[in-house]
């Protein structure tokens, strides 16, 4: 199994997924600015992966602080947490993971003021987040595989695989689990403009596993669903609200509307660490990224007139009435989401 993020003796080691499938490059660092930039530049991306990476980054910073002054130690950790929180605004797992590490630190301080002990606790909590993510993905895979039939064609968007998590994946984890159970499924992957996570990452992962995949451009989804060429849609999520709104890669909403129009079941697959219990739909911050991502192919090949105004929202919001079910590590929840999601949390 691909393990894109790991703890390497006081440093974070990660696979630079911005270069996949052209190059397989790993980096290691314990430098706060370098780690924050890895998230901003999407060397690490996908909601669960960002959460795990931020937790390990905090651990690497804590591990390497050289002081016996507890206030100085805590200030450095808070500074790192604040910098990491500013990297990307939409994926809830980032904030969830940082809070979880800080809460563990707070709890530990009630027992001990030893910096060595506090460092140990921070590293331990970050590693728990890493291993739990893989475990939860496998559990989601088992729950999700129950709705997949032998012979199904599944349409998916963006990349929700090992490369978007600590390993195994969310929506792609369900596909992987169904395949491991011997179900002869096929996948249709959207290319996912502008950064091509579908074409570059999902296709790369599925080809490696031998799972049949067909690549389409994003604007072919209507054609594919209207022709009955897909049985189910499975996507991941960056944030799920208690109302059942699913915030995910730009283009997800379009696919959900089309799935509804053509009676194709539409599922979101995400761990409960993606469920945001507080934010209301009107408060969700959608990340707006560099316009050059739209004016070019992968910031290399220009495809339009220089400096033409562009929009580049990285995510959109799918309302609950378009979501057939939400697959989590605790089971599959169905509408009414404001009751079922609350219960599962």
Q: Which range in 30-38, 115-123, 158-166, 318-326 contacts ligand MRU by CB under 6 A? A: 158-166
Q: How many CA atoms lie within 13 A of 121 on its CB side?
A: 20
Q: Which range in 1-9, 204-212, 236-244, 295-303 contacts ligand MRU by CB under 6 A? A: 236-244
Identify the H or E element spanning 148: none
Contact yes or no for 198/190 (Cβ under 8 A): yes
Q: Does 314 bind ligand MRU (CB under 6 A)?
A: yes
Q: How far is the CB of 93 from ligand MRU (least distance, A)?
A: 8
Q: How far is the CB of 87 from ligand MRU (least distance, A)?
A: 11
Cα–Cα dist 170/341, whole Å? 17
Residue 214 is encoded by which pair of tokens? 């067909």
Which residue in 30, 160, 272, 318 binds ligand MRU (CB under 6 A)?
160
Q: Does 45 bind ligand MRU (CB under 6 A)?
A: yes
Contact yes or no for 214/173 (Cβ under 8 A): no
Which residue in 139, 232, 249, 260 binds ligand MRU (CB under 6 A)?
249
Contact yes or no for 268/246 (Cβ under 8 A): yes
Q: Are strands 325-328 and 266-269 parallel, antiparallel or unpaired?
A: parallel
Contact yes or no for 251/315 (Cβ under 8 A): no
Q: Does 197 bind ligand MRU (CB under 6 A)?
A: yes
Q: How far is the CB of 47 from ligand MRU (least distance, A)?
A: 4
Which residue in 158, 206, 233, 241 binds ligand MRU (CB under 6 A)?
158
- Interface residues with ligand MRU (CB under 6 A)? 45-48, 91, 158, 160, 164-165, 170, 197, 236-238, 248-249, 314
């Amino acid at each position: 199994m691909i393990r894109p993020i790991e703890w390497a003796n006081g440093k974070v080691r990660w696979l630079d997924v911005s270069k996949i499938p052209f190059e397989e490059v790993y980096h290691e660092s314990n430098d706060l600015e370098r780690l924050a930039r890895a998230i901003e530049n999407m060397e690490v991306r996908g909601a669960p992966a960002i959460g795990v990476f931020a937790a390990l980054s905090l651990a690497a910073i804590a591990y390497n602080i050289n002081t016996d002054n507890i206030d100085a130690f805590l200030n450095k950790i808070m500074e790192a947490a604040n910098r990491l929180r500013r990297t990307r605004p939409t994926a809830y797992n980032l904030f969830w993971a940082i809070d979880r590490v800080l809460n563990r630190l707070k709890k530990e301080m009630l027992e001990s003021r030893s910096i060595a002990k506090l460092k140990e606790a921070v590293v331990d909590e970050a590693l728990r987040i890493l291993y739990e993510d893989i475990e939860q993905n496998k559990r989601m895979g088992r729950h999700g595989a129950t709705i997949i039939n032998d012979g199904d064609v599944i349409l998916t968007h963006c990349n929700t695989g090992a490369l978007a998590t600590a390993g195994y994946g969310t929506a792609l984890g369900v596909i992987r689990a169904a395949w491991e159970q011997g179900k002869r499924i096929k996948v249709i992957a959207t290319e996912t403009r502008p950064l091509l996570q579908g074409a570059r990452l999902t296709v790369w992962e599925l080809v490696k596993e031998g799972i049949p995949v067909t690549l389409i451009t994003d604007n072919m989804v209507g054609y594919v669903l209207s022709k009955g060429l897909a049985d189910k849609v499975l996507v991941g999520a960056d944030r799920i609200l208690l109302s059942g709104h699913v915030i995910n890669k730009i283009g997800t909403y379009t696919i959900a509307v089309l799935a509804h129009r053509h009676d194709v079941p539409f599922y979101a697959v995400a761990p409960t660490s993606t469920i945001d219990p507080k934010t209301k739909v009107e408060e969700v911050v959608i990340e707006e990224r560099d316009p050059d991502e739209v004016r070019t192919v992968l910031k290399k090949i220009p495809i339009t007139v220089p400096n033409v105004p562009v929009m580049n929202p990285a995510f959109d919001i799918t309302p609950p009435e378009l979501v057939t079910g939400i697959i989590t590590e605790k089971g599959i929840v169905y509408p009414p989401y404001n009751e079922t999601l609350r219960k599962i949390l």
